[in-house]
C-alpha cells in the first residue's frame, strides 16, 4: 500500500460518497440543517452508517467494521468535508470511534462501537486536549465509583451526541468512561457558535452514571492515538473544504466579467488563485502523509499530524479568506456559500490545536536540540 497511491476501490468509494453528499448535503440542505434543532438529519446520519458504511471504515472486522484502512476513512471524510456535511463527524468519527478501536474489547466498548459504526447512536468526546495532545493534568471531571461529576466546556458535538466519552479522575487515576446523555445527572447547554455547521455545548455531570471503557493503564495511550487520528482526519476535512472553495473561486473568475473580460484573466486575480492551488496541493500532501503514517507506521505520527495540522489549518484559512476576496461583494453576502466555509475554516483552525501551536511542536521536534553534522560555510570578512 504505497503512500499516495489510491486503489480502484478507494476511487469508487470517493465517487459514492461524493454522490451521496451531493444529494444530501447540497448547499440548500446544509443551510436548512444548520438552523434546525438538532442541526443535522439523524435519518441521513443513519444511512451514512448503515447503508453507505463510511463512519467506521478503518474498524477491524473483529470489531464489527469492514476492516478497511484509515486511508479509506480519509477518502470519505475529504468528500464530506467538501460539502460541510452536517452531523457529529468530529465527535463520532474523528475521536470516539478511534478511541474505542484503541481500547481493549469489553461488553460496553463493543456494543457502543457497533452502534457508532452503524449510525444507530452518535458520540462526542468530553476530553480536554492541549493543542491536540491529551493532558491528564487538565482533567477536571472526577469519578466516584461509576458516577461522574464536573464540567467540560465547549464540547464539539456535545449537544447532539447520544453518548459522551469522558476522561475522569478516580482514585486509581484518569480513566475513560461512556455516559448516556439522556440520563439524569447530565446537563447540556448548547452554545451559539460562529460556525453553524459544527455545534458545541457545555456539559455538566452531577453524579452521572457512567460505564468504564478503559482503565487508567491504557487511557492516556487511547486518547493520544484518538487525538492523532482526529487531527489527521480534520486535516483531510480541511483539504476537502479548501479544494471546494478553490474550484468555486476558479469558476467564478472564469465567468465574472469586468472591463469586458473575465476577471481570471487579470494577473492580480490569477496569481492569487495560483497561490491557492499551491496551498491546496501542499495541504493534501501533508494530510495524506499523516494518514499514511498512522496507517503503516512509515513516519512518526506525532510529527506527521502536527505538520499536517500546521499546514492544513493555514491553507484552509488562506483559501477561505481569498475565496471571499475573489468573489468580491457577492462573497460577503449571507446568500453566498463562501461564509459558511470561512466560518468552518476558523473553527477547524482552532480545533485540536492551532497552526501556531503545531508549529511550536514541530520546532520542538526538529529544531530544539538539533545537532550539527555539517557546519555551513559563513564568510568571515577575510579575503583569501
Partner 1 sequence: MSNHADAERVAERARGVVADHDPKTVPIPDYLGACYDAGLSWVHFPEGLGGLGVSRGLQAVADRILQGAGGPVPLGLNPMGYGMAAPTIREHAQSEDVKRQWLRPLATTEDLWCQLFSEPGAGSDLAGLATSAVRDGGEWVINGQKVWTSLAHRARWGLLLARSNPDVPKHKGLSYFVIDMHGAGVETRPLRQLTGQAEFNEVYFTDARIPDKHRLGDVGNGWNVAMTTLMNERTALGGSGSRRGAGTIADATALWASRPERQTPVLRDRLTQLWLRSEAQRLTSERSRAAATVGGPGPEGSIGKLVGAELNQHIYQWCMDFLGPEGLLYRGYEQGAATGERDWQGPIQQKFLRSRANTIEGGTSEVMRNILGERILGLPGDMRADAGMPWKEIPRG
Q: Which is nearer to partner 1, 266 or 332 (CB)?
A: 266
Q: Identify whether the C-beta of residue 279 lies closer than 8 Å to the C-beta of residue 318.
A: yes
Regarding 302 and contact with partner 1 (CB under 8 A), the answer is no
Within a 10 A sphere around the Cβ of 302, how many other Cβ atoms?
A: 17
Q: Per CB under 8 A, does 297 bind partner 1?
A: no
The whole-angstrom separation of Cα 109 and Cα 199 is: 25
Q: Is 183 in the site for partner 1 (CB under 8 A)?
A: no
- Can you tell me which of 47, 120, 270, 336 binds partner 1, judged by CB under 8 A? 270
Q: Which is nearer to partner 1, 284 or 343 (CB)?
A: 284
Cβ count near 242 (within 10 Å): 30
**Residue 298 interacts with partner 1 (CB under 8 A): yes or no:** no
Of the pair 62, 379, the CB lying nearest partner 1 is at 379
Residue 193: burial class (beta carbons within 10 Å; 0-12, 13-18, 19+): middle
User: By CB under 8 A, what part of segment 354-373 binds partner 1?
Assistant: 356, 359-360, 362-363, 366-367, 370-373
Q: Using CB under 8 A, pick the residue from 92, 199, 219, 286 that binds partner 1.
A: 286
Are the C-beta atoms of 16 and 51 separated by less than 8 Å? no
Distance CA 21, CA 137 (A): 40
H-helix or E-strand containing 134? Answer: strand 133-134
Least separation in angstroms between residue 5's CB and partner 1 is 5
Q: 121, 182 in Cβ contact below 8 A?
A: no
Identity of the residue, 183 or 274, whose beta carbon is nearer to partner 1 in the bound complex: 274
Nearer to partner 1 by C-beta: 169 or 284?
284
Does 62 sit near partner 1 (CB under 8 A)? no
Among candidate residues 286, 305, 312, 315, the one with its CA nearest the CA of residue 361:
305
Residues with Cβ within 8 Å of 110's Cβ and at least 6 positions away in sequence, in order, are 63, 64
Sign of CA dihedral 275, 277, 282, 287: positive
In angstroms, give the least distance from the CB of 350 to partner 1: 18
Q: How far is the CB of 224 from partner 1 (least distance, A)?
A: 22
Out of 114, 136, 262, 332, name the contact with partner 1 by CB under 8 A: 262
According to CB under 8 A, which one of 310, 324, 351, 352 is a site residue for partner 1? 310
C-alpha cell at 222: 487511547
Is 283 or 340 the residue whose CB approaches partner 1 more closely?
283
- Least CB distance from residue 314 to partner 1, whole Å? 9
* 51 and 17 Cβ atoms separated by less than 8 Å: no
| Interatomic CA distance for residues 12 and 177, integer angstroms | 37
DSSP secondary structure letters along 13-54: HHHHHHHHHHHHS-HHHHHHHHTSSSSS-HHHHHHHHHTS--
- Confirm or reject binding of residue 271 to partner 1 (CB under 8 A): yes
When binding is defined by CB under 8 A, the residue of 267, 297, 329, 334 that contacts partner 1 is 267
* Closest by Cα among 328, 219, 317 to 264: 328
Using CB under 8 A as the binding criterion, the count of chain residues that bind partner 1 stands at: 53
* Residue 8 lies near partner 1 (rule: CB under 8 A): no
From the list 24, 31, 109, 289, which residue makes contact with partner 1 (rule: CB under 8 A)? 289
Q: Which of residues 321-360 bind partner 1 (CB under 8 A)?
A: 356, 359-360
Chain residues that interact with partner 1, rule: CB under 8 A: 2-5, 250, 253-254, 261-262, 264-267, 270-271, 273-275, 277-278, 281-286, 288-289, 307, 310-311, 356, 359-360, 362-363, 366-367, 370-384
Amino acid at each position: 500500500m504505497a503512500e499516495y497511491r489510491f486503489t480502484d476501490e478507494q476511487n469508487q468509494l470517493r465517487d459514492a460518497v461524493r454522490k451521496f453528499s451531493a444529494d444530501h448535503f447540497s448547499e440548500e440542505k446544509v443551510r436548512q440543517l444548520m438552523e434546525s434543532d438538532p442541526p443535522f438529519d439523524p435519518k441521513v446520519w443513519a444511512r451514512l452508517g448503515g447503508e453507505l458504511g463510511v463512519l467506521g471504515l478503518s474498524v477491524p472486522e473483529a470489531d464489527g467494521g469492514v476492516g478497511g484502512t484509515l486511508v479509506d476513512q480519509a477518502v470519505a471524510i475529504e468528500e464530506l468535508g467538501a460539502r460541510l456535511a452536517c452531523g457529529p463527524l468530529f465527535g463520532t468519527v474523528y475521536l470516539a470511534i478511534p478511541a474505542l478501536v484503541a481500547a481493549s474489547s469489553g461488553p460496553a466498548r463493543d456494543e457502543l462501537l457497533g452502534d457508532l459504526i452503524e449510525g444507530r447512536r452518535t458520540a462526542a468526546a468530553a476530553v480536554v486536549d492541549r493543542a491536540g495532545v491529551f493532558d491528564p493534568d487538565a482533567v477536571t471531571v472526577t469519578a466516584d465509583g461509576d458516577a461522574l461529576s464536573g464540567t467540560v466546556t465547549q464540547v464539539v458535538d456535545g449537544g447532539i451526541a447520544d453518548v459522551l466519552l469522558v476522561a475522569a479522575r478516580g482514585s486509581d487515576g484518569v480513566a475513560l468512561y461512556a455516559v448516556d446523555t439522556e440520563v439524569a445527572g447530565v446537563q447540556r447547554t448548547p452554545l451559539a457558535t460562529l460556525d453553524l455547521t459544527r455545534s458545541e455545548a457545555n456539559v455538566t455531570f452531577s453524579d452521572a452514571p457512567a460505564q468504564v471503557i478503559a482503565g487508567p493503564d491504557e487511557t492516556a495511550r487511547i486518547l493520544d492515538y484518538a487525538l492523532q487520528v482526529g487531527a489527521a482526519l480534520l486535516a483531510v476535512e480541511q483539504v476537502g473544504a479548501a479544494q471546494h472553495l478553490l474550484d468555486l473561486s476558479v469558476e467564478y473568475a472564469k465567468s465574472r466579467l469586468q472591463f469586458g473580460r473575465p476577471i481570471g484573466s487579470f494577473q492580480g486575480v490569477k496569481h492569487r488563485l495560483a497561490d491557492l492551488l499551491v496551498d491546496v496541493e501542499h495541504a493534501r500532501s501533508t494530510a495524506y502523509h499523516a494518514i499514511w503514517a498512522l496507517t503503516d507506521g512509515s513516519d512518526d505520527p506525532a510529527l506527521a499530524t502536527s505538520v499536517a495540522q500546521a499546514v492544513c489549518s493555514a491553507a484552509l484559512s488562506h483559501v477561505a479568506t481569498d475565496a471571499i476576496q475573489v468573489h468580491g461583494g457577492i462573497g460577503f453576502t449571507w446568500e453566498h456559500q463562501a461564509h459558511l466555509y470561512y466560518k468552518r475554516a476558523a473553527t477547524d483552525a482552532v480545533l485540536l490545536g492551532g497552526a501556531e501551536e503545531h508549529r511550536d511542536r514541530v520546532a520542538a521536534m526538529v529544531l530544539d536540540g538539533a545537532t550539527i553534522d555539517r557546519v555551513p560555510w559563513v564568510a568571515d570578512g577575510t579575503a583569501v
